[in-house]
Structure 1
């Protein structure tokens, strides 16, 4: 897949804007996974999706990425850009720190998408899904 936008555009984008895109992209991966696993009832889909897309789940995944050294240094820069961004929304049902870490997680996904790194995005999303699945057992 080719880049969605020019490098200088996403390079200059703030962490919140990257997270805005990344939130949507990660959500699509999760929805696809849930539908492929045979879940079709809207309430069950929503309930199961929260295991993957909640701020707590995303912060957990960042901890695991750091533990397993999954992110490249360049990717970690985009994570930090999202984590450190000044947000005008507040955390719901979680701590401010967890919320900020999840914003960094989403910024990473936004960066990978906007830079056209589809294979890396696919592998990372697959790793996240597998990691959450293992944790649930």
Structure 2
């Protein structure tokens, strides 16, 4: 999809945020039965900007040059606001990760999205 390359990093992050949320929910439900409030609390451990930012440095070594470029573009994007729950650098790193996932999803590369998600979960669970 040629239009994907022309999307802003923030548009990619918008899609990537939804993709990542779905991946996290599927991952948590796949662990076995749990109450919704437990699932929500567990999901926060993955989806918070601080949690996403922690995995980005380790993830970079597994990325292709093109994926690293998308990550860089996402990190350099400047949203109109920053949340109070994360430092600016953490928020920019989480935006980078979401940009990458959004890009891969819109490119139709679901296999790569799942591969990276598996790695992200593994890295996140090491903490």
* TM-score for both structures, normalised by structure 1: 0.88
Q: Is the 8 A contact 2:16 2:100 kept in 1?
A: yes
Q: In structure 1, what is the Cα distance between the partners aligned to 2:102 and 2:42? A: 22
Question: Which residue of 51, 59, 67 corresponds with 2:53?
Answer: 59
Q: Is the 8 A contact 1:10 1:115 kept in 2?
A: yes
| Unaligned residue ranges in structure 1 (runs of 5+) | 1-5
Per the TM alignment, residue 39 of structure 1 is displaced from its structure 2 partner at its CA by: 4.2
**How do 1:1-137 residues align onto structure 2 when only pairs under 5 Å count?**
6-7=1-2, 9-66=3-60, 69-135=61-127
Aligned to 1:131, the other structure's residue is in SS state helix
* TM-score for both structures, normalised by structure 2: 0.94
Q: In structure 2, what is the Cα distance between the partners aligned to 1:86 and 1:124? A: 24
Q: Does 55-64 or 83-92 show the bigger shift?
A: 83-92
Q: In structure 1, what is the Cα distance between the partners aligned to 2:47 and 2:95? A: 11
C-alpha distance after superposition, 1:72-108 (max 9, x if no partner): 1100111111111120121231111110110001000
Give aligned pairs, total.
127
| Unaligned residue ranges in structure 2 (runs of 5+) | none
Moved over 4 A (4+): none
Q: Is the 8 A contact 1:39 1:45 kept in 2?
A: no
Cα RMSD (Å) of the superposition?
1.1
